Amino acid sequence: MLPVAIVGAGPVGLAFALSMQRAGIDCAVLDARAVGSPHNDPRILALSHGSRQILERLGVWSDIDATPIATIHVSQKNFLGRTLIHARDAGVPALGYVVEAATVCAALERACTASGVHIRRGTRATGSLAQAEYALLYCTMTAGSEEIRAQLIAWAEGATRSEDAIVCRDYAQQAIVATVLTRAPLEAIAYERFTTRGPVALLPLGDRYALVWSVPDDEAAGLLALDEHDFIARLNSVFSGRLALTTVSARTAFPLGLRYRKSPVGKRAVWLGNAAQTLHPVAGQGFNLALRDVSQLARLLQDHPQDCAEAVLLARYAAARRLDRDGTIGFTDGLIRLFGVRGEWATHARGAGLLALDLLPAARRFVAQRMIFGARGGPWRVNPLQ
């Protein structure tokens, strides 16, 4: 019987598998994709400095080509008020790092393979059944079906499902994602621009920017249909022409909403990453929260390896993660709600808030540390479970 069976070989599942291996706990990773499937995850991840620390402890950071963010520029279109958050505000070398998700996944998989983690490709988990002393994981593969026994099943694949005990909020927005080039040399600045139609983020990625443009559902198709010249013109107008953006890659879009499980644990089960919570990409907190979940769960299981799914143990994990999880979910959802309020008074109030934040170093430090380390607001040098 396996101590831990992990469903999903994406970056979250692989990070948890590597954490288990480093903790001396056997695990297997099950992934529905066929053997030899390429790493084609199109997402761009904004990793916080705290996430870098976790990946360094896992021994994979040096294998990841990431672009540092020295400054975050926050503003709203057509109104006064803006904030610059610098790495020095939080006392770190960089506020975060921008990287392709496929690059992170490939680095983690190489480390897992080198560490002896068994990744079973072409194996699709179709259901599970929790027993008193173990859980049964039902799987299908080309050769037939199989039942796997494990103390704990970690679901790290896909988003929360409609039949789960979840909270949902449809933002009625879609995120248009692409990469864009600029005429001027790129600086290590990330831009978060709030408009009356939704937030727009530009993240430095090598010699280009990664674009995440949130627009109402009824505007997405029109923007996708624009030719490159007209699309760039519209995007430049959002930033008032300051960045001189020149070309754009192929564009895709996906719907935006908030979906999260009320509890990330169940009987002999834990949910991680998007399987536990799917957040709006504003402020780029989703994957960073997932890595903090993985890191803390691994430390807890390392201290109690006898039964990785003991009910008291999982309850302790859920309680320990509640502050950070609820705080991060509330922070991202609150930003969308705050900047979605229409009206001149609301816009001027937001501008005054951005200006006040820019003038108060202590406030900028508070925001920076929570974006970097989560709701606990400090480096993970001390085991927060103790």
What pLDDT does residue 91 have? 81
pLDDT over 70 (residue 290): yes
* CATH value at residue 231: 3.30.9.10
Task: Kindly state whether residues 263 and 245 are assigned to the same domain.
Answer: no
Least confident of 156-160, 173-177, 205-209, 239-243: 156-160
Identify whether 87 is part of a domain: no
Identify whether 82 is part of a domain: no
Alpha helices in 29-117 (DSSP H): 49-57, 87-90, 101-115
What pLDDT does residue 353 have? 56
What average pLDDT does range 257-267 have in this prediction? Answer: 93
Task: Kindly state whether residues 48 and 132 are assigned to the same domain.
Answer: yes
Residue 367 — very low, low, confident or very high, per pLDDT cuts 50/70/90?
low
Identify whether 113 is part of a domain: yes
What range defines the domain where residue 251 resides? 172-256
pLDDT over 90 (residue 8): yes
Task: Kindly state whether residues 265 and 123 are assigned to the same domain.
Answer: yes
What pLDDT does residue 382 have? 32
- Per the model's pLDDT, the better-predicted residue between 138 and 359 turns out to be 138
Task: Kindly state whether residues 273 and 344 are assigned to the same domain.
Answer: yes
pLDDT over 80 (residue 117): yes
Task: Kindly state whether residues 195 and 298 are assigned to the same domain.
Answer: no
Task: Kindly state whether residues 114 and 239 are assigned to the same domain.
Answer: no
- To which H or E segment does residue 73 belong? strand 71-76
What tens digit of pLDDT does each residue of 15-30 get?
999 999 999 999 999 9
What tens digit of pLDDT does each residue of 63-116 get?
999 999 999 888 887 766 678 888 887 788 898 999 999 999 999 999 999 999
Task: Kindly state whether residues 146 and 200 are assigned to the same domain.
Answer: no
Identify whether 78 is part of a domain: no
What pLDDT does residue 304 have? 82
Q: Are 16 and 117 in contact (CB under 8 A)?
A: no
* CATH value at residue 57: 3.50.50.60
Identify whether 293 is part of a domain: yes
What tens digit of pLDDT does each residue of 152-173 get?
999 998 766 655 578 888 999 9
pLDDT over 50 (residue 380): no
Task: Kindly state whether residues 320 and 261 are assigned to the same domain.
Answer: yes
Task: Kindly state whether residues 206 and 328 are assigned to the same domain.
Answer: no
Task: Kindly state whether residues 265 and 247 are assigned to the same domain.
Answer: no
Identify whether 309 is part of a domain: yes
What pLDDT does residue 38 have? 58
Question: CA–CA separation, 3 vs 23, rounded Å?
Answer: 12
Task: Kindly state whether residues 295 and 333 are assigned to the same domain.
Answer: yes
Task: Kindly state whether residues 97 and 149 are assigned to the same domain.
Answer: yes
Identify whether 217 is part of a domain: yes
- Work out the end-to-end distance of the chain between its first and last CA atoms, rounded to an integer number of angstroms: 30
Q: Final residue of a domain: which of 237, 256, 275?
A: 256
Tokens of 100: 């392709």
Q: Final residue of a domain: which of 205, 226, 256?
A: 256
Question: CA–CA separation, 119 vs 180, rounded Å?
Answer: 35
- Per the model's pLDDT, the better-predicted residue between 189 and 364 turns out to be 189
What is the tally of structural domains in the chain? 2
3-state secondary structure 315-365: HHHHHHHHHHHHHHHHHHHHHHHHHHCCCHHHHHHHHHHHHHHHHCHHHHH
pLDDT over 50 (residue 361): yes
Residues in the chain: 386
What pLDDT does residue 187 have? 85
Q: Final residue of a domain: which of 256, 275, 303?
A: 256
- Per the model's pLDDT, the better-predicted residue between 14 and 241 turns out to be 14
Identify whether 83 is part of a domain: no
